[in-house]
């Protein structure tokens, strides 16, 4: 990365570094972890960068749903900052990465339609979209019909995958086909967008986003095999196989019954101590999912050192920020339910909790 990298990423780097400086210190996480209740965590958070978004919650509506929403608005705002300051060529990819939350919102809307939920209930489940142009969720819910919503979204990026899944929905009255196709389409498009980036950024994006796609394929394939009892052919069609370390051959091993532990040990050497540890064979998929996230967390942290003027630092920052926020939310929910530490700590991603 030469002079052009400095000019393209100079401002963004300053903003991202400032954002990194605002992230919670390990001591703050430790204090929250040791807090007896939600109010104590909120008191700690009010003295951090989250104080501003939390100030929007009045005393009366400081419930976990509202707090979750407000905390997530911080991530939305940071996405907006990164998009605004990123070089033009990188913006479509960053916007696409934010669109993942839109896909989640879309899925939540479909589920609410099926469950006949009210807008009040759905609105609390949606990820805050801030200044990003998004879908008319309330109107979609008001139609009360999944096919109608699909018709409504015909001319959006979701039109094609939804239309392809509609016949199956009509036959099965189940959102499985819709949700899977939305995911496949989203990640396939994201992967294609990386090709538009210049050389250095392209390599970094392949590296960072490739690992997400690999993780998705591994977990999807395992779950399709274990819980849905799908055939190898079906699993292949329901996965992507584009992650560098998880080609069709690896997906094929899972669909033939090879345990996830063994597959992970062969493709991710850094996970080997975990996979050979005592009792590792008894861990279920969700535990390996956490381990994969923690590995990814470390991967993102590693991108913060080295040459600063590239897209990798910004992407890593956004992914780390999401982990931070989701960890806070998990802590809040655990404290709200009065769970002991051993019940929730294994689900936290942040490094301070990684033994």
Q: Which residues bind other proteins (CB under 8 A)?
A: 160-161, 164-165, 167-168, 177, 181, 188, 230-234, 236-238, 241, 248
**Cβ neighbours of residue 147 closer than 8 Å, sequence gap 6 or more:** 166, 169, 170
**To which residue do tokens 């019940």 refer?**
343
Min. distance of Cβ 241 from other proteins in angstroms? 7
Min. distance of Cβ 191 from other proteins in angstroms? 12
26-53 burial string, b = 16+ CB within 10 Å, else e?
Answer: eebbeebbebeebeebbebbeebebeeb
Residue 7 or 237: which CB sits closer to other proteins?
A: 237
329, HSE (Cβ side, Cα atoms, 13 Å) = 17
Q: Which two tokens stand for residue 146?
A: 């999944």
Nearest to 325 by CA among 130, 33, 69: 69
Min. distance of Cβ 342 from other proteins in angstroms? 40
Work out the number of other CB atoms within 10 angstroms of the CB of residue 344. Answer: 17
Min. distance of Cβ 150 from other proteins in angstroms? 13
Residue 17 or 168: which CB sits closer to other proteins?
A: 168
Residue 147 or 307: which CB sits closer to other proteins?
A: 147
Work out the number of other CB atoms within 10 angstroms of the CB of residue 2. Answer: 8
Q: Which two tokens stand for residue 232?
A: 């190898």
Min. distance of Cβ 335 from other proteins in angstroms? 42
Residue 96 or 275: which CB sits closer to other proteins?
A: 96
Q: Is 243 helix (H, G, I), strand (E, B) or coil?
A: strand
Residue 23 or 236: which CB sits closer to other proteins?
A: 236
Integer Cα distance of 196 and 240 in angstroms = 20
- For 277, left (φ over 0), alpha (ψ -120 to 50), or beta? beta
Residue 242 or 330: which CB sits closer to other proteins?
A: 242
Min. distance of Cβ 274 from other proteins in angstroms? 31
Integer Cα distance of 49 and 32 in angstroms = 15
Residue 171 or 282: which CB sits closer to other proteins?
A: 171
Residue 156 or 231: which CB sits closer to other proteins?
A: 231
Instruction: Tell me phi and psi for residue 246, to 5 degrees.
Output: -130, 70
Min. distance of Cβ 290 from other proteins in angstroms? 28
Q: Is 44 helix (H, G, I), strand (E, B) or coil?
A: helix
Q: Are 95 and 190 in contact (CB under 8 A)?
A: no
Min. distance of Cβ 170 from other proteins in angstroms? 10
């Amino acid at each position: 990365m030469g002079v052009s990298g400095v000019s393209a990423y100079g401002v963004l780097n300053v903003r991202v570094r400032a954002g990194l400086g605002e992230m919670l210190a390990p001591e703050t996480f430790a204090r929250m972890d040791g807090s007896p209740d939600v109010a104590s965590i909120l008191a700690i958070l009010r003295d951090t960068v989250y104080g501003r978004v939390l100030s929007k919650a009045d005393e009366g509506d400081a419930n976990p749903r509202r707090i979750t929403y407000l905390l997530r608005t911080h991530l939305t705002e940071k996405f907006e900052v990164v998009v605004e300051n990123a070089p033009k060529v990188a913006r479509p990819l960053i916007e696409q990465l934010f669109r993942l939350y839109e896909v989640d919102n879309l899925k939540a809307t479909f589920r609410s339609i099926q469950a006949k939920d009210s807008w009040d209930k759905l609105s609390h489940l949606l990820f805050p979209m801030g200044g990003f142009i998004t879908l008319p969720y309330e109107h979609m819910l008001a139609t009360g019909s999944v096919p109608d919503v699909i018709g409504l979204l015909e001319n959006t990026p979701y039109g094609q995958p939804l239309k392809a899944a509609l016949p199956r929905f009509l036959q099965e009255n189940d959102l499985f086909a819709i949700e899977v196709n939305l995911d496949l389409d989203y990640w396939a498009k994201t992967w294609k967008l990386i090709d538009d980036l210049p050389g250095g950024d392209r390599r970094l994006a392949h590296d960072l986003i490739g690992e997400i796609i690999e993780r998705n394929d591994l977990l999807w394939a395992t779950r399709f095999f274990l819980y849905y009892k799908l055939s190898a052919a079906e699993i292949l069609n329901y996965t992507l196989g584009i992650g560098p370390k998880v080609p069709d051959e690896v997906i094929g091993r899972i669909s033939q019954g090879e345990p996830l532990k063994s597959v992970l040990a062969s493709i991710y050497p850094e996970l080997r101590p975990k996979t050979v540890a005592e009792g590792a064979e008894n861990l279920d998929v969700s535990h390996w999912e956490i381990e994969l996230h923690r590995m990814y967390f470390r991967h993102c942290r590693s991108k913060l050192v080295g040459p600063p003027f590239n897209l990798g630092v910004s992407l890593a920052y956004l992914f780390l920020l999401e982990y931070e926020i989701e960890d806070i939310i998990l802590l809040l929910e655990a404290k709200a339910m009065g769970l002991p530490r051993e019940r929730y700590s294994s689900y936290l991603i942040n490094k301070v909790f990684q033994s």
